A and B are shown apart, each in its own frame.
Chain A
Amino acid sequence: MDFSYSEDQSMFVASCERLVREKCAFDARRAVAKSPAEAVPPLWPEFAQLGLTSLLVPEDAGGLGRPLIDGVLVAQTLGRGWLLEPFVDCALAAATALARAPQGAERDATLAAIADGRSIVVPLADARVVGGEVRGTAAHASYADAALFLDGGRLCLLPLSTAVRRGWRQFDGTAAAEVVGQIDGATVIAQGEAATDAWRAARDVARIGRIAEGVGLARTVLDVTAEYLRTRKQFGQPIGRFQALAHRMADLAIRHEQAQSLLLAAAMRVDAADGERLLDAAQVMAHRALRSIGQEAIQLHGGIGMTDELAVSHYVKRLLAIEIELGDADTALARFAAAA
């Protein structure tokens, strides 16, 4: 039993921390969130340079072949800086789907292109195929190069250059698009059980990665709020001295550590027999943590927490979006209970 970082993990986390510190100041992030949805986020090439896009790409496809927990630590660290890049969607989820698929020219080439940052691939989780057309909506699809989707028992890769796209930004600033493509323009990557297994693995990894991003950002929200409580004075003293506020912060800190704990456990046991159930538990806990930390951060800031001007309101919106992207917690709870 060991929760310390390996040398590689420390290195990745340290370079992500530096990136967040130097490139993810609130004003810089807000500028990205306000840019056209069709623009590739500016930090993506740096992610590739740091090796972040090749973390989960197998070594035989030109990647680093690291375990999922490494990707989770990176997602969490990047999440601290209001992540607007498709790290979770492409470098974790899409890379996992392709890595789990049988080797083949298209699969290998796509993985290699993800690894070196040339290509952005996102999963189209809600894809529907009707009459030769595939339709779906996904975060980052507005500028991605290709989308993965499951069509019955086939895992398909759709180049987005020829698809019709309607892009927008979500309320939290994340780019997204509705995509309509021709099914005969797609390449089949895997079929049958290989396809469904790869897709399921990708969905699990997308969920874990999203939780990690949220737990990372929640950490920042807690830090920002604690700093506010240390500096804002009322009745002649920092408001953090008032027990009514200090105890609420303590409860939020506990919530956060609980979510962090189940996140780590889920990431380390993703392929175990109880992996799915642990992931449901992690999602429920993350949902509780993100919701309460977001709500309380605004309350503890008071009126200033309601303003568009302050970073905290933007972070809170991203936390809320992450909860929605994860899917409803009641479903996860029901699944967890049924699997008892």
Chain B
Amino acid sequence: MDLNFTAEEQAFAAEVREFVQRALPEDIRASVLGGEHVDAEHLARWQKIIHAQGWGAPTWPREWGGPGWDPIRQHIFDEECMVAGAPRLLPFGLRMVGPVLMKFGTAAQQHRFLPRIPSAEDWWCQGYSEPGAGSDLAGLSTRAVRRGHRYIVNGQKTWTTLAQHADWMFCLVRTDAEAKKQEGISFLLIDMKSKGVTVRPIRLLDGSVEVNEVFLDDVEVPVEQRVGEENQGWTIAKYLLEHERTGIANVGINKRELARARRLAGECVRNGRSLAADPLFAARLAEVEIELMALDVLNLRVLAAARDRGSPGPMASMLKIKGSELYQRIAELILETQGSRALACAWDGAAQRWEQDPAAAFYLNLRKVTIYGGSNEIQRSIIAKHVLDL
């Protein structure tokens, strides 16, 4: 048993730290450390910078242009980047459709799509959720009907993150309406420029536009853009969700935001003293820090298991629950450091709307993290079934 990283791993961490320090543009760093909304241009620019370094796909094997890091190094890279104020890499290409193509794609699909992901030439979005299929994903009703060498797709996707910037969408569609609901699903790659694709942004309670409705009306999709066999989509969907779950603890982001909460509390004077010196606030800060320390070690235990056994297993659901709850608790602390200042809004003429104060927007925006990526209630059901055998 050993809690320490190896000397090589520590040297690697130092190398990443030095690189991020040097290569992360100041405007991006300031935006991220200020808790502002995710900026799509920042994401693309940072993705290109790390790609130039050869690190554009941190979780990919060498065979596909990744650095071939094990789960520990991937974690170190992520944590160093997050703590230093880099934006989180988009998962849709790197962690979702990428691994799916590596495992289920044809050689032609792999060569066509994979190289364009780390370079940010292609931006992907995830066509999973529908108005009638959220947690019960297999209940989806978007239909794809085979006509010669094409599928004709009709239906609606929703909560599609950053679809307004996406070039491609990977999409679950129903190809057999008669089969059991999990058995009639296929996995298609849809060009967002196709005729019949309409993206309608959904404005959220914090003023942001991160998610969209995507309407599909007689969209023609060539058969060679189907991944895997027809009606094999559910197997692929589940494989993808497994990959989504690695790195889900968000330890790095939580460390960064806790440091921000601590700094803001130190700058804030309440009842004649620093808020950080208020014993009740300090106790809440301490509780959160202890939870984060436990999450950090639990995450390392899961990573070590993933390294040694190949899969994070159902314990990853614990990381999702604690990582997201902590993120929200830290956002609450940050909001409290701002007091009534958090009520303010500023008119953003360019966007023609009132911009909420970053602390309030941050708090409100993060209500999403216990909902997306498999709601925390779904995660509890996974733990009950697969860890506790209930």
Contact = CB atoms under 8 A, between A and B. Distances in A.
A261 interface: yes
Interface stretch (A179-187, A246-254, A319-327): A246-254
Contacts of A250: 379-381, 383-384, 387-388
B308 interface: yes
A1 B300 contact: yes
Contacts of A261: 294-295, 297-298, 301
Contact of B390 (A3, A226, A258): A226
B281 to A, nearest CB: 10
B293 A247 contact: no
Interface residues of B, number: 44
B388 A253 contact: yes
B2 A268 contact: yes
B294 A258 contact: yes
B344 to A, nearest CB: 30
A2 B321 contact: no
Contacts of A285: 290-291, 294
Interface string A250-283: 1101100111011011001100000000100100
A4 interface: yes
Interface stretch (B3-11, B267-275, B364-372): B3-11
B315 interface: yes
B290 A254 contact: no
A150 to B, nearest CB: 29
Given A258-B295, A336-B290, A249 B6 contact: no
Interface in B342-387: 377, 379-381, 383-385, 387
Main secondary structure of the interface of A (DSSP, over half): helix
B287 to A, nearest CB: 7
B23 interface: no
Contacts of A3: 1, 300-301, 304-305
A284 B291 CA distance: 10
Contacts of B304: 1-4
Contacts of B377: 243, 247
Contacts of B388: 226, 240, 246, 249-250, 253
A254 B286 contact: no
B44 interface: no
Contacts of A278: 293
Contacts of A4: 1, 304, 308
B33 interface: no
Contact of B322 (A5, A249, A254): A254
Given A1-B72, A3-B304, A5-B1, A254 B390 contact: no
29 contacts: A1-B6, A2-B1, A5-B1, A9-B1, A243-B381, A243-B384, A246-B388, A247-B384, A249-B384, A250-B384, A253-B318, A253-B387, A254-B322, A257-B315, A257-B318, A258-B295, A261-B294, A261-B298, A262-B297, A268-B2, A334-B283, A336-B286, A336-B289, A336-B290, A337-B283, A337-B285, A337-B286, A340-B285, A340-B286
Given A249-B384, A264-B301, 15 more contacts: A1-B9, A1-B72, A1-B300, A3-B301, A229-B390, A243-B377, A243-B384, A247-B380, A253-B387, A262-B290, A262-B294, A264-B3, A284-B290, A285-B291, A340-B282
Interface of B: 1-6, 9, 72, 262, 279, 282-283, 285-287, 289-291, 293-295, 297-298, 300-301, 303-305, 308, 315, 318, 321-322, 377, 379-381, 383-385, 387-390
